[in-house]
Amino acid sequence: MKIRIGTRKSKLALWQANYIASRLKKHYPDIQVELVKIVTKGDKILDVPLAKVGGKGLFVKEIEEAMLRNEIDIAVHSLKDVPTYFPEGLGLVAITEREDPRDAFLSVKYSSIDEMPEGAVLGTSSLRRKAQIMLKRGDLEIRDLRGNVDTRIRKLEEGQYDGIILAYAGLKRLGLEGKVRQVFEPDFMIPAVAQGFLGIEARLDDEETRKIVSVLNHRESEIRAKAERAFLKTLEGGCQVPLAAYSEIDGDKLKITGFVSDLEGKRVFRDSMEGLPEEAERIGTALAEKLLDMGARQVLEEIYRENS
């Protein structure tokens, strides 16, 4: 058996690809795994916020094209970067157990975001993070921050920012937890849809590969991801919209909390729904529809109209 894994070249992407390779080798000791490094458009455009250049889908397009050309067998993605639609013939075939989905605050000067003085510079390019921070700390100056994890931390340590916000999952995977000063609980900052999951994409007609990779699927994570991605799909959202969703399973109940706001964080819509885990997609869809009816529809229409 041989599996060719398509991956971006960043340290985090390579860690994720190597992690999946090691998991496959544990289940199939004789398997051969090859990493095929691919540069995506999102890796090339580093001076413009993602919301202005097409969103997170920029990190997967070239990899998916390589898969359709049969140059790779699977792709390993941070699931939060994967659009809810796929090119014909491709789809998710496994979702790994969720790493910590929370957001983390890093700073050389301050031990928490509460310690930052008025006018301090906070770095993030995420509209979701910006909107939720503005609800609590509207006195901060929020500046865009792009680049891989190392680049963002370097900019912080050079003094370009007083603090930055990154996904805790990526920091943990790279062994950089020691740089974290504060981790935000979901009731303070709701994570990005599917943050912390790794999603494995493959050709849907490649039954052998799908069967091999299926051993890596984590059922509870699959359910939670389905709920959150159904929420995202119903809102037709992406990097252009401040939105978030976070799901939990407690016993026989699935609960999902969703958030939508305008770009200034002034008109905010937030609510929760719960139900049976096997109804994950229905619950995520219903929550999104509820927020739309509460007023989020008008906000989204304004944002899409402005961006178009």
Over its C-alpha atoms, the chain yields an Rg (Å, rounded) of: 19
The Cα–Cα gap between 140 and 122 comes to 7
- Using CA atoms in the order 92, 260, 127, 115, what is the torsion angle rounded to 10 degrees? -120
Q: Is 81 marked active-site?
A: yes
Query: Cα angle at 252 between 248 and 256, to 5 degrees?
Result: 30
* DSSP collapsed to 3 states, 72-114: CCEEEEEHHHCCCCCCCCEEEEEECCCCCCCEEEECCCCCCHH
| Closest by Cα among 46, 47, 64, 69 to 7 | 64
- The active-site residue, picked from 81, 103, 162, 262, is 81
- CB burial of residue 208 (10 Å; 0-12, 13-18, 19+): exposed
Alpha-helix residue ranges (DSSP H) falling in the chain: 11-27, 41-44, 50-53, 61-68, 127-136, 149-157, 168-173, 207-213, 219-235, 280-291, 297-307
- CB burial of residue 273 (10 Å; 0-12, 13-18, 19+): buried
Q: What does the DSSP 8-state code read for residue 297?
A: H
Catalytic residues: 81
